[in-house]
Structures are given as C-alpha cells and as structure tokens.
A = this chain, B = another copy of it.
C-alpha cells in the first residue's frame, strides 16, 4: 500500500497543524488556499490557490490528489456531492459534511442516536420565535443554521423586540430557536474514525468560552466520570450515525444538572489543540491517519494535566511574534503561533503546558499567553 496524496481544502491554522503532523509520516500534502498568505500556505511546499466553495477550483484541485479532506465548513454540499459523483474520494464524505455544515442537520443526527439536546425548533418567522418563547420563556437563543462559528451567528435575545431585530436582519435565512440554558460547565469530546468504522476517543476536555469564543481547555475534564463517559458514548454514536471519517469534535454543556449536546465539527477542532503535546497521538496526526485509512494512534494523555490557552491579538494590534521571547521564558510552555496577520481580538496562536496538576498547568499556560499583551504594552518588544 502506498501513502495517498492528501488534499486539504482550506489553509488556516488547522491546515498548518495538519501539515506539521504530516511531515514525520511523509504523507504528501497539497493545500487549496484562498490566498498565498494563509497560515498554512506560508509553510507548505505545495499550495494551490482557489476558493473552497468554487466547484471549478475544487475539481481542479481534487484531480491532483488521491483523497480530499477539509479544514473548513465553508463548503457547498451540492458541490461536494457532484465531486463524489465524479469519482473524487472525500473524507469526510459529502453526506457527512452535509450534516456538519448545518445545525438543523446536526441536531437531527443527535436526536436519532438519542443524545440529549436543548429544546429547539426551526424558525423562519417572528411568529415561530414568539410561539417557541411562549412555552420556553424569554430569553431564547437564536442561531443561524449555517456559517456560524466563534460566537458569530448566535444571539441571546431577551424579548420580542430584540428577537425581531435579529430575524429581520437575516431576511428569511433559516434559524434555530433554542431554550436559553444557564451553563454550569462546558466540555468537549473528540473522536477519530477510519473508513471501516474503527474509532479512538480522546479524553473529555473542559472548555472555557468567553464572548462565545473558545479560550481555554483543561484535560482531563474535572467532571464526573459518569458524565464524561456518557458524553463519550454519545460522541461515538454520532460519529457512526453520520459515518464520519477523520476527526470529529462534539461540544457538550451541563445546565441545571442536565448533560446537553451542543454542536459538532467533522475536522480537527480548537478544543483539541492540547492533544499535540498532551496526548500520545495528536488530533492532527489521527485525522491524517483516518483519512489515509491507516491504524489510529493512542489517545492517552502524556501528563496528569494539560492546559491550553489561546493567544489573542492584543488591543494595540501588535504581533504576538514580537513577544515570542517572553512566552518561551515560561517554563515548559509550548508556544504555537499561526503566522496570521495580527488584529486585536483575533486568535493568533495557543500555548499548551503539561504539568502535574491542572492549576499549575493552567497558571503557566495563561502566564505565557498573557505575555503577548504585556510584552506589547511593555515597549514594542
């Protein structure tokens, strides 16, 4: 068996970390980048440029690869089905991606396997929203069914007026309306799955969102094993149900004592960046192994506790790369910078620390990630 040429659609930081993981396995990688300055395109040997939602770009790109995978959900299911009909091997498949890119489809798949989910309903009109709120009570959560991520496309609305502003702004695009939950804890579970169904599951990892954006993770999860093992069973059931190939991440939360399944993604996910140093096999390596139909690697933790904190562009717009010395000065800090243009609030990297306790790991990871802002303020280092 020879190793397939893997095409990755998209060239952001996920593709960059996939590229890094491909080097030791000598898996040949081609990228389809929107721009030559994309995070992964800056480091890859072989990057074509083209839009991930252009059928012509995808068709030309796929012709140079043995198997095509995705770091982005900005794809059009119809186009993917057309590619498969033309003989292109997509992993995950067009059918799997069709579920993953649409929150209604995600919820439907979750319900099919019996996963607990927040009360929700599709809503295209204010009337549907009002009816839902009449039974659930205000506030409610409104979500676009497609294209939302990092807090975009999600609104918590407290009354009819607020809801109307959102609904009118979306001019008929489909929405989900959901019960508002007072979240006690959030965590995620990741699974890697091969074409034949072989699966490995990563330990549950606690996650912290701020303003709807993932900021920090701590593995292993501090939640009860009964809860996290329930989540693990849900995640594997969903992966089988949607016939996922590659990595899949499922985000969960706990509210009022209930475990609820929130969203899923069929690609490497930022809640599992900790796996690069924190697990025997990273999510990036296991995604490639799965996509190439190679045996999956161990997901065991390499340390008692692993913390990861995002590096966010500081308010003054300075580049975290100028604070690299400060970050590397923190003991055992693994610094990852994505090579993206710095903008205030933009996710530009992450720091992972493995340690004997969660408190120690988190304190050091935060200390390193915060040196970006400090260093920048401290006089243009």
Contact = CB atoms under 8 A, between A and B. Distances in A.
Interface stretch (A150-158, A226-234, A319-327): A319-327
A331 B1 contact: no
B297 A328 contact: yes
Given A3-B321, A321-B2, A328 B289 contact: yes
Interface residues of A, number: 41
Given A45-B42, A302-B302, A302-B354, A26 B321 contact: yes
Contacts of A295: 325, 328-329
A183 interface: no
A26 B322 contact: no
A147 to B, nearest CB: 28
A337 to B, nearest CB: 4
A215 interface: no
A371 to B, nearest CB: 11
The number of times this chain is found in the oligomer is 2
A280 interface: yes
Interface in A19-51: 19-20, 23-26, 42-45
B322 A1 contact: yes
A244 to B, nearest CB: 20
A303 interface: yes
Given A303-B302, A381-B1, A324 B25 contact: yes
Contacts of A23: 16, 19-20, 43
A47 to B, nearest CB: 8
Nearest to A24: B336
A335 B25 contact: yes
A334 B281 CA distance: 8
A294 interface: yes
Contacts of A334: 24
Given A1-B322, A16-B23, A298 B338 contact: no
Query: Most B CB atoms within 10 A — which of A324, A334, A338?
Result: A324
A339 interface: yes
Contacts of A79: none
A24 B26 CA distance: 18
A294 B16 contact: no
Contacts of A16: 23
Contacts of A289: 328
Given A42-B45, A43-B45, A325-B295, A335 B1 contact: no
A107 to B, nearest CB: 35
A121 interface: no
Query: Most B CB atoms within 10 A — which of A44, A280, A289?
Result: A280
A332 interface: yes
Contact of A26 (B45, B302, B337): B337
A44 B294 CA distance: 24
Interface in A258-316: 280, 289, 294-295, 297-298, 300, 302-303
Contacts of A339: 26
Given A2-B322, A26-B339, A302-B302, 11 more contacts: A16-B23, A23-B43, A24-B337, A25-B337, A26-B337, A26-B349, A43-B45, A280-B332, A280-B354, A295-B328, A295-B329
Interface of A: 1-3, 16, 19-20, 23-26, 42-45, 280, 289, 294-295, 297-298, 300, 302-303, 319, 321-322, 324-325, 328-329, 331-332, 334-339, 349, 354, 381
16 contacts: A3-B321, A16-B23, A20-B20, A20-B23, A20-B24, A24-B335, A26-B339, A26-B349, A44-B45, A45-B45, A280-B354, A289-B328, A294-B328, A295-B328, A298-B332, A302-B302
